[in-house]
A and B are shown apart, each in its own frame.
Chain A
Amino acid sequence: MDSWRKNPLVFWVLNLSPSAWLILFFIVPLTLVWVLSFGEKRGLLEVAITGTFDNYARALQPLYLEIFWKSIWMAGLATIACLIAGYPVAFAIAFAPDRWKPFLLLALMVPFWINILIRTYALIAVFRTRGYVNFTLEWFWDQANGLLTLLGLGGYQLIGARYEPLELLYNNFAVNMGIVYAFFPFMVLPLYANIEKLDRSYMEASLDLGAGHWRTFFSVVFPLTWHGALSGIIIVFIPALGAFFIPDLLGGTDSQLIGNVIERQFKSANDWPFGAALSFLLMYITFGALALRALVAGRNRGLDV
């Protein structure tokens, strides 16, 4: 088929189900929420759609703006962590022998077959005071202490009288780890796709001509693969921005993100119009990020030509 214009019927038939899907499950519900955000609560159940901007005015108070900012900051931090950790992993897979690649990709994807909520609960067992990280460190501490005693230094308590467990859970560090863990494959896969396509001879040339590994990465590899990085950044950053059960389960007393505030509006606060307004502000930030990506990608294409 050279052009859908020549076969409009085929085009419409093929297009019907995705369009219906998009309208029914995306446009319609989103419109409903959007309309709701201009509503006013009248008692327990009724919401009058009055076209008011009160919900937005309330959402733009410093209290909520700070929470928005904190969410952007946390999502950004997690995205950068994913990027830094993602490049070596993507490289390792791309440069692995061909027969290993499917298994390495599978290893990356297998955790995804398990529900994200269960994986987040699993992190609790890893990070808590009496969790696997602390158990491991305690074991090393015991070995070190035993060694010191053997050397006759046991009495000096060089590494403390007893093992003090690390506080790894119920703080912002745990939330960040949770987000990175949850969305890491979303970063690696687009990076891998780009690195896989990369012509190796560029790197060989760069190394041959005297550039070090860092220089080669930043001057050659990164400029050639950053499209993948950008896709990865977007698809990690957007869901990270709306995270709510990860901070709920792993966060401490100051880990409230905007997703938590929104969730509460639809549940315990029973204030759907305000929740809708907050959701749409979050969506505008998302659109902003997507627009930025389009802009950057577009400009780059212009330069390439």
Chain B
Amino acid sequence: MRNRHIARYSRRSFLAGTGAVAAGLSFGPKFALGAEEAKLNFYNWDTYIGETTLDDFKDASGIKVTMDLFADNDELFAKLKEGNPGYDLIVPTNDFVERMVQAEMLVPLNHGKIPNFKKNVAKAFQDAEFDPGRKYSMPYMWGTQGIGYRKSRVDGVPDSWKWLLDSDKYAGRIALLSGSSQAIGMALKYLGHSYNSTDAKEIKAAEDLIIKQKPHIKVFADDNGQDLLLSGEVDLTMEWNGDILQVMEEDDDLAYVVPKEGSIVWQDTLAIPNGAPHPDNAHKFINFILDAEAGAAIADFIQYATPNAAARALLPDDYSKNPAIFPTDETLSRCEPEVYKGETAQRLRDEALTRILAA
């Protein structure tokens, strides 16, 4: 899934300042009796944290963070499914928070230990449908999925899923994402249904649409649509906004648009899995991430949209007012979050995908 993001070394000076500020924050005594050992095992996406965040946190709290990386939510889920191998903090996406809550894999959070949540996080993220009252998850980053395209090879702005799913205009120059929800979900959206439809007939219609389009599709990308776009292999690709943003910095000819039929809006969260050996430290780290300065340093480095209003306010306009990072409310109103659809619907979609790929 999302390839989390880039180094923007030009802004190192800003980051250097953060360390000093962060060092000023103070967390309780390091070796109080009965306290947890000063360690934290963090399971995160690749390049999805500030350049110095872990060191800053260690300076501030004395807690040493060990970070492991996962490639997608499926991997995260599969790894924790048979019991927590020792992680204290994980970064599941909204629909996986739903799944994990339902499977009782997450520890309820103690909001009293995370004062920065109420203080800094934007109102829209104070509550969430997928986690009412934010009992189990804190917002980390959010974004959309849409079409990344090469301006010079496309007529105007390809602001419809039609150009990917129902047209031979760009035959042989199109990439779709291969995840079981994504291509089918967008086809559902294009046909006027919900991205999260569980209706067998609607899913069949989406399946037929993609099979009919198959001769014009070059590849079902395994979340490397941005690389295909950058290398000129395709001219239009379905992708996550952050991925396209990353290659837009390398090539001015690339752009990103959320199609008019709508798309999905996702939210990555911070959550503590059951059996976490250091839940107290995890709370401290969550609170640290939701701090204005620390949050700004992370967002500035990875260039995803932060739900942390205080952090966003600290950043320059080319980030905080960038429409590819923060879509307009009008665009957002056409997007829906992916929800966990239950195991039966999951199977329906996986079988549809198997048929699409076998056709």
Chain A residues within 8 Å of B, Cβ to Cβ: 41, 43-45, 63-64, 66-67, 70, 128-130, 169-170, 248-249, 251-254, 256, 260-261, 264-271
Contacts and interface: CB of A to CB of B under 8 A. Distances in A.
Interface string B322-359: 00000000000000000000010011001101110111
B180 A264 contact: yes
Contacts of A251: 219
Given A45-B103, A66-B358, A256-B354, A269 B347 contact: yes
Contacts of B231: 128-130
Interface string B73-96: 011011001000000000000000
Contact of B103 (A41, A44, A63, A248): A44
A67 B358 contact: yes
B222 interface: yes
A177 to B, nearest CB: 16
A267 B231 CA distance: 29
Contacts of A45: 81, 103
A128 B72 CA distance: 26
A256 B218 CA distance: 14
A270 B99 CA distance: 11
Greatest chain B CB density within 10 A among A44, A63, A270 is at: A44
B270 to A, nearest CB: 21
Contact of B355 (A63, A130, A260, A268): A63
Interface residues on B, range: 20 to 34
B170 interface: no
A78 to B, nearest CB: 19
A270 to B, nearest CB: 6
Given A271-B347, A271-B350, 5 more contacts: A43-B103, A44-B343, A63-B355, A251-B219, A253-B218
B233 interface: yes
B232 A269 contact: no
A129 B180 contact: no
Interface in B194-252: 214, 217-220, 222, 231-233
B169 to A, nearest CB: 18
B346 A256 contact: no
Contact of A268 (B74, B103, B220, B358): B74
Given A44-B99, A128-B231, A264 B350 contact: yes
Given A43-B343, A252-B218, A270-B343, A129 B232 contact: yes
Contacts of A266: 78
A248 B358 contact: no
Contacts of B78: 266-267, 270
Given A41-B343, A270-B346, A63 B354 contact: yes
Given A41-B343, A44-B102, A269 B180 contact: yes
Contacts, number: 77
13 contacts: A44-B102, A45-B103, A63-B355, A128-B233, A129-B231, A170-B219, A253-B214, A253-B218, A253-B219, A264-B354, A267-B78, A269-B346, A270-B346
Give the interface SS of chain B, mostly helix, strand, loop or mixed: helix
B179 interface: yes
Given A41-B343, A63-B354, A269-B346, A254 B103 contact: no
B142 to A, nearest CB: 21
A252 B181 CA distance: 19
Contacts of B103: 43-45
Given A44-B99, A45-B103, A128-B233, A253 B346 contact: no
A268 B350 contact: yes
Nearest to A249: B222
A254 B357 contact: yes
A261 B352 CA distance: 12
A268 B180 contact: yes
Nearest to A274: B347
A260 B357 contact: yes
Nearest to A128: B233
Contacts of A64: 354
A270 B102 CA distance: 15
Greatest chain B CB density within 10 A among A41, A169, A268 is at: A268
Contact of B217 (A67, A253, A260): A253
A130 B74 CA distance: 32
Greatest chain B CB density within 10 A among A248, A253, A265 is at: A253
B11 to A, nearest CB: 30
A259 to B, nearest CB: 12
Nearest to B100: A44
B103 to A, nearest CB: 4
Contact of B233 (A44, A169, A271): A169
Greatest chain B CB density within 10 A among A43, A129, A170, A260 is at: A170
Nearest to B77: A270
Interchain residue pairs A-B with the least CB separation, the first 10: A256-B357, A267-B74, A269-B350, A44-B103, A170-B219, A268-B74, A45-B103, A268-B180, A253-B214, A253-B217
Nearest to A41: B343
A33 to B, nearest CB: 13
A169 B214 CA distance: 16
Contacts of B218: 170, 252-253
Contacts of B350: 264-265, 268-269, 271
Contacts of A261: 354
Contacts of A256: 354, 357-358
